[in-house]
Structure 1
Amino acid sequence: MNGVLSWLEATGPATFIRDGRWAYPLTESAHLIGLALMFGAIAVFDLRLLGFSRRVPVSGLAAQALPWARRGFVLVALSGALLFSANATQVFDNTAFQVKLLLIGAAGLNIFVFHTGVFRDVKDWDTADRAPAAARAAAALSLAIWPAVIVCGRLIAYA
């Protein structure tokens, strides 16, 4: 694995991010902007599932907020990959990084289960004051996991 990580660190983009005067801080800034966009959109949607903004149909909010969450995720994934590549050999063994990856996987599984499960029947509860228990559980889990991902990302520098 160290060979792959060393190769990754030696690529042009990794070298540019690591050695460029402004490349690393600008990439990190893009990562934070993407996180704000992604988590902001996710949080608004999850809060609706938990009973806030009950006058807003869930499907309407999903159509507006979730595309922004996906765009934010793309920015986060691209910038995160660049940041990782710059110091892959160090970061790979970092406990905070490893926990972050596990949490991202858990968040992805939560999203998959939600969208292939209870959200398929959103027309049945779209304007209800109370979303089904499975939707509320997915929202609560999401609101716990994503901030933990953010915290782990911040802890990478200190772990």
Structure 2
Amino acid sequence: MPLIAVEWVDGADQSLPLPTYQTAGAAGADVCANLPDRGEVILTAGARALVPTGLRLQIPEGFEVQVRPRSGLALKHGITLPNSPGTIDSDYRGPLGVIVMNAGDSAFVIRHGERIAQLVVAPVVQAQFVVAGGLDETARGSGGFGSTGQTG
């Protein structure tokens, strides 16, 4: 199990929980909004905002942390993360912020301390990219978006 070291950003509310798995089988650890003024962010329909978590992470080399939406917020309110999954690289040491978007049809209030996203720790494999003289042929070939679901 990888160890993720955590540090509070100056001024963060340290009474809020660190990212927490809500069940024994959870893949994602919920992370909270840690607003500097301890207030709230109002997201109108279609709006997006960078919501601070008050945290900085030290991710081991060979891993990333993916930032993903919470399904309940997405279903009930249309709250999503437009760059999902977002990636936090192992060499990043800055503050963790979550880009939150309201895809719903009414305003949504993000309150200080509210669980706004989930963090998934995943292994990373880096590849070497090389220019080739040609690529192997496949049954799909160059068929693009939606091409695998088409029949005759």
TM over 0.5: no
TM category, shorter: under 0.3
The answer to which structure has the higher helix fraction is: 1
Q: TM-score normalised to the size of structure 1?
A: 0.25
Q: TM-score normalised to the size of structure 2?
A: 0.26
- The structure number with the bigger radius of gyration is 2
